[in-house]
Amino acid sequence: MREAVPYAQETSFIGAPYLPGETERARDIVLRLERVSLRYRLPNERLSSFKEYAIRRLQGRVRWVDVSALRDIELTVRRGDVLGIIGRNGSGKSSLLRLVAGVLRPTSGRVWLKGWPVSPLLEIGAGFHTDLTGRENVYLNATLLGHPKKVIDKRFNEIVRFAELAEVIDAPLRTYSTGMMMRLGFAVATAWDPTILLVDEVLAVGDEAFQVKCGARINSFRERGVTVLLVSHDLSLVRTLCSRAIWLDAGSIRAAGSPDEVADLYHTAVTAGAVADSLDAGTR
């Protein structure tokens, strides 16, 4: 299957898909995307109301357009990899994470992974209910992530201890500070070592201290063999945290390799593009 990897025409494949210096031994694969394409079928205008749709339909005026979000993505991720995914807005980064999370199915191709369900790091407060107590929220949140109640019972004390919220765990969540909610969400999401962790940096709001804590946590995950997929605009974060990186451009992998190489390529292209854009704007 190796020769089938189509980092074809528009893709400049640089470096091996492994860490530099690593032998090409068969490390175990935890995620594999094979010729994955994702297309959305959308109406050419946003028809969000049924009334509008019915009228247009009767008039025969509903046209559909296929939006191609990802094209022929070929990707293999191994245990312990921290894969940085960079690219401009709308390049397909979030679509890729959704495919891996199993939220969407590919239109064609195949997504294969170990460690289902994949846990995403959610933004603070997602899946929380402020009228419920901390305890109730732990159960709600963890069941949303697919854990049965029995499993949560066993980990409950540990979660509370990690979040340092033992005294207030039976108080309603609306009495919590943002920091407390953040700690609770993080404690639940990371209470079980996931095989694959999805981090969408756009969502990772929070102060610098929390960012540092997140980084430390991701590093510790990496040491324990957890695979991390990190979507980020922050190139320095990708350079420091990741072991590999890919650059998505208009739904295709434009480059893949070591974080530094990919980040450099991306940076060059973006700066060049920005210059071209501004020149373009200037001549008009």
Partner 1 sequence: MVDPLAISLTHVGPSALVGEAGGLNAQLSAGENVYDSARRELPLRHEFLEALRYRDLVLQLVARDVRTRYKRSVLGVGWTMLSPLLMMVVLSVVFSHLFRGDTPHYPVYVLSALLLWNFFAQSTTSAMTNLVWGGPLLTRIYVPKAVFAISAIGTGLVNLAFALVPLAAIMIATGVPLSPSLLWLPVPVVLTAGFALGVGLLISTLAVSFRDIIEVYQLILTALYFLTPVMYPVSVIPVQDRWWMQLNPGYYFIEAFREPIWAGRGPAPETIAAATVISLVTLAVGWIVFSGRADNMAARI
Q: Give the residue with the Cβ less far from partner 1, 122 or 241.
A: 122
Is the separation of the CB atoms in 63 and 44 below 8 Å? yes
Contacts of 38 (CB under 8 A, 6+ apart): 68, 69, 70, 92, 95, 99, 104, 106, 107, 251
State in angstroms the smallest separation of the CB of 278 from partner 1. Answer: 34
State in angstroms the smallest separation of the CB of 271 from partner 1. Answer: 32
Contacts of 147 (CB under 8 A, 6+ apart): 192
Q: What is the amino acid identity at position 135?
A: R
Q: How far apart are CA 191 and CA 197, in angstroms?
A: 12
Is the separation of the CB atoms in 69 and 251 below 8 Å? yes
Q: Give the residue with the Cβ less far from partner 1, 53 or 272.
A: 53
State in angstroms the smallest separation of the CB of 200 from partner 1. Answer: 8
Q: How many Cα atoms within 13 Å fall on the side-chain side of residue 207?
A: 6
State in angstroms the smallest separation of the CB of 16 from partner 1. Answer: 13
Distances (CA, A) of 100 to 28, 95, 97, 210, 225: 17, 9, 5, 26, 18
State in angstroms the smallest separation of the CB of 137 from partner 1. Answer: 9
Q: Give the residue with the Cβ less far from partner 1, 115 or 206.
A: 115
| Positions that interact with partner 1 (CB under 8 A) | 1-2, 26-29, 32, 34, 40, 47-51, 53, 76, 98-99, 101-106, 109-120, 122, 126-127, 129, 131-132, 136, 139-140, 143-149, 172, 195, 200
Q: Over the range 2-30, which residues count as b (16 or more CB within 10 Å of their CB) and which as e?
A: eeebebeeebebeeebbeeeeeeeeeeeb
Q: Give the residue with the Cβ less far from partner 1, 90 or 102.
A: 102
Q: How far apart are CA 35 and CA 56, in angstroms?
A: 36
Is the separation of the CB atoms in 64 and 44 below 8 Å? yes
State in angstroms the smallest separation of the CB of 196 from partner 1. Answer: 10
Q: Give the residue with the Cβ less far from partner 1, 152 or 262.
A: 152
Q: Give the residue with the Cβ less far from partner 1, 118 or 245.
A: 118
Q: Give the residue with the Cβ less far from partner 1, 104 or 269.
A: 104
Q: Give the residue with the Cβ less far from partner 1, 98 or 183.
A: 98
State in angstroms the smallest separation of the CB of 266 from partner 1. Answer: 25
Work out whether the CA dihedral 141, 143, 147, 148 comes out positive or negative: positive
Instruction: Please give the helix or strand (H or E) that residue 277 lies within, else none.
Output: helix 259-283
State in angstroms the smallest separation of the CB of 166 from partner 1. Answer: 22
